Amino acid sequence: MPAGRLVALILGLDEYWGPHEENTARLLEAQSYALEFAWADRAIDPDDPAVKAERARKRKLPPHPIVPPVAFRPKKAADERMAEYVEQVRKYLPNPDPVDPFEQLALWKAQRGIQST
């Protein structure tokens, strides 16, 4: 690593965020997405009525996966990447259903065999 980049890293300067750093961040996000997808593929029961109902809604699928920005970036680059992600999500999921956190908790407990009190 060149000395200038090392100093920028230590001091937290944003001016050294270039194509290499952005490509590395995108690779990290792609790996994170692949891991989450693999876990969901093995952890979700395709015969579950809730899963079947979700698939029956037939949402318009994007041409490419929408990968959430999980990599560390300088604030300006992170804000730009988050805005890009939100725009992509809104394009393909314009009206998400409201989520009841207590319903999600009850479903989570039921999937794990935990009795509600």
- What sign does the dihedral 63-64-68-72 (CA atoms) show? negative
Band (95; pLDDT cuts 50, 70, 90): low
Q: Does the pLDDT of residue 71 top 80, yes or no?
A: yes
pLDDT over 60 at 13, yes or no: no
Amino acid at 108: W
Q: What are phi and psi of 90, to 5 degrees?
A: -65, -35
Local structure of 100: helix, strand or coil: coil
Instruction: Tell me: pLDDT of 55 over 60.
Output: yes
- Residue 58's pLDDT is 65
pTM of the model: 0.54
pLDDT band at 31 (very low <50, low <70, confident <90, very high): very high
Q: For residue 25, how many other CB atoms are within 10 A of its CB? A: 19
Domain boundaries, the chain: 3-111
Report residue 41: phi and psi, to 5°: -65, -35
